[in-house]
Amino acid sequence: MTSASTETVYPLNPGTNPLQLTGIVQQVIQSEINGRLNLVTQSGQQWDLYFQLGRIVWASGGEHRFRRWHRVLRQLGISPASIQMREKELPAQWEHLVLSVLLKRNRLKREDVQRAIETNITEVLFDVLQASAYITEMGCNVSQRNIDDSPVTILGTPDDFMSQARQQLKAWQLGGLGDYSPNFAPVITSHDVLKKHCSPQMYVTLVSSLTGKSALRDIAMIKRQSLTDLALFLRPYVEKNVLAFQPIADFPAPVPKSMGNDRRSSDRRAAMPAPPLDAVAEPADSSASMEEIWRDSSEAETPMMNQAPSPEGPLIVCIDDSPQVGYILEQVLVPLGYQVLSIQDPIQALSTLMRRKPDFIFLDLIMPVINGYELCSQIRRVSALKETPVAILTGNDGVVDRVRAKMVGANDFMGKPVVPEKVLAVLQKHVRYQPAPMAASRAVA
C-alpha cells in the first residue's frame, strides 16, 4: 500500500481506556476507503493497521513483530528458514505479501491463510488495547490502492476484531496476569521453592520451558494453550513468588538475500519444503488437566518455529521428538549467529542431514521407532557425515550410556534438561566459531 503525501493526525489524551480507543479506531477506519492507521505510544512503540473498504486486512508493528511472524508461519506449517526474501527493500506490509505469494502458488489454502491473518490481527489489537492508556497519537494515511492486490478476501470489520481482542484482554486480566504483557518471558526466581510446590517431573518440565528466553505467547503456542489457560496455570507460581517476568528481545528482521551468497544457500532452499498443513498441531484436548498438557506436550509432533538463518553462522541440527528442546536451542543459539534446524521425525532425519550437511548435531537418545544410538550409527556410515560432531541428549546421564554413546561414534554427551551454559560449552569444544562477546553474555544471562 502506498501512503498518501499527507497524513491526518488524531491526538489522543493519556489514559484512554480500551473501549474508548476501540470507538475511535472504528470511526476512523470506517470513514475512509483504503489506508493505514498508525498508533504511537509515549515511549515510541508503534503499530500499523491496514484497512480496505472500512475493514481491517492486516496489522503489524509492536515490540515483537518478527516473533509474531514466526508464530504465523508456524500456524501454517511453514518454516521461516524456507522464506527467502529477494527484494532489496522490504515493503511495509511484507508479511502479508509473503502470504499472498504462497497462496497464489498453491502452497497454502485460502481458509488457512485467512485464519492466520485473523490471528495476527487480533494479537496486534490485543497489544494495542493493553497499551491504550499510553497511546498519544494516531496517524491515518489514505490510499486508493488495495493492500498488495492480495487474493485474500476482505476480512472482518473493525468491530469484529476489536471485540475479540477486548474479550481476550479481559480474560487475560481475569487470569491474574493483567499487569504483564504476553510478550514478556517468565523466568524461575526460586528453584528451591518451586521444588516444594510441584512434582519432580513437573519441575523438570517447568525448568526447561520457563527459561526467560521464550515469550508467554511463544510458550502458549508450544503448549497449544490459550493465553487465558496459560495465565491460570502460571498464576499460582507467580503468587508463590517463584516466577518473574522480564522483557525479551524480538527476533532479528529478515535480511534480503541474493543467490549464491551462502555456501549452503541453494542446498537449503531445496531442503526446506513446507511441511504438510495437516501436520500443524490441533488444540490440546480440553478434557485434559493443565498439568497433563504441560507434562505431555513434549510428545506432541508440533512443527518448530525455526528462525531465519544467518549466512555466516554454523548450522546446528537438533534431532529430538520434543519441540521444547529444539525451541530452547533456537532461543540460545540464533541470537549468537548460529543457524538452528529442528527435526522431530527421526525417520526423516538422515536424508535431511545428508542434504543440509550441518556443522553439529544434537541427538536425543529416546525417540519413537529409532533411538539415538541406532541413528548415530547410521550417521557414521554416511561418508559426508563421518566427521560431523554429534552430542547425545538424554535424561539418563549414566556411565553405561556414555560408554555406549562413544561406541556408536558420538563425540559428546549432554544431560537434560537443556541448560544454555552446557550447550555453549559443548559447541565451543567441537565447532570453530566465536560469537560476539556481547551476544554470548546475553545468551547465558
Write down all domains in the chain, each with its CATH number in brackets: 8-175 (no CATH), 178-246 (no CATH), 312-443 (3.40.50.2300)
**pLDDT by residue (tens digit) across 296-341?**
543 333 333 333 434 468 999 999 887 778 878 888 888 888 889 8
Nearest to 76 by CA among 277, 297, 262: 277
Phi, psi of 441 (to 5 degrees): -65, -35
CA dihedral for 123, 94, 61, 156, sign (positive or negative): negative
**148 φ/ψ sector (left φ>0, alpha ψ -120 to 50, else beta):** left
CA dihedral for 221, 369, 349, 112, sign (positive or negative): negative
pLDDT, mean over the chain? 79
Phi, psi of 273 (to 5 degrees): -65, 155
Per-residue model confidence (pLDDT) at position 395: 77
- pLDDT of 112 strictly over 70: yes
Per-residue model confidence (pLDDT) at position 291: 58
For residues 290 and 41, which has the higher predicted lDDT (pLDDT)?
41
For residues 150 and 106, which has the higher predicted lDDT (pLDDT)?
106
Amino acid at 83: I
- pLDDT of 4 strictly over 60: no
Grid cell for residue 128: 494495542
Beta strands in 7-64 (DSSP E): 8-11, 34-41, 46-52, 55-61
Per-residue model confidence (pLDDT) at position 256: 67
Question: Percent of the chain at pLDDT above 70?
Answer: 79
Other Cβ atoms within 10 Å of 191 Cβ, number: 11
Cis previous bond, 256, omega within 30: no
**pLDDT by residue (tens digit) across 226-266?**
888 988 899 999 998 899 999 989 988 877 665 444 444 33
What average pLDDT does range 252-281 have in this prediction?
Answer: 43
Provide the terminal-to-terminal Cα distance of the chain, rounded to the nearest Å: 41
Amino acid at 113: V
DSSP 352: H
Residues ≥6 apart with Cβ < 8 Å to 50:
1, 35, 36, 37, 56, 57, 58, 59, 60, 93, 96, 147
Q: Measure the CA dihedral 98/104/109/114, to 10°.
A: 50
Q: Whole-prediction pTM value?
A: 0.64
Question: 158-172 and 18-30 helices cross at what angle (nearest 10)?
Answer: 170
- pLDDT of 422 strictly over 80: yes
Q: Measure the CA dihedral 201/207/208/213, to 10°.
A: 160
Grid cell for residue 230: 496459560
Q: In the sheet where 46-52 sits, what is the strand order?
A: 8-11, 135-143, 34-41, 46-52, 55-61
Report the distance separating Cα 281 and Cα 223, nearest Å: 10
Lowest mean pLDDT among 14-28, 141-155, 232-246: 141-155
Residues ≥6 apart with Cβ < 8 Å to 349:
319, 343, 375
Query: 307, 331 in Cβ contact below 8 A?
Result: no
Helix (H, G, I), strand (E, B) or coil at 89: coil
Lowest mean pLDDT among 99-108, 257-266, 374-383: 257-266
Nearest to 181 by CA among 93, 265, 264, 68: 68
Grid cell for residue 211: 527459561
Question: Percent of the chain at pLDDT above 90?
Answer: 25
Report the distance separating Cα 312 and Cα 309, nearest Å: 9
Tell me which residue has cell 543467490: 259
Quick one: pLDDT band at residue 293, thresholds 50, 70, 90? low
What average pLDDT does range 118-137 have in this prediction?
Answer: 94
What average pLDDT does range 67-95 have in this prediction?
Answer: 79
Report the distance separating Cα 129 and Cα 149, nearest Å: 29
Report the distance separating Cα 314 and Cα 150, nearest Å: 37
Tell me which residue has cell 555466516: 312
- pLDDT of 178 strictly over 60: yes
Per-residue model confidence (pLDDT) at position 283: 37
Report the distance separating Cα 152 and Cα 19, nearest Å: 29
Quick one: pLDDT band at residue 2, thresholds 50, 70, 90? very low
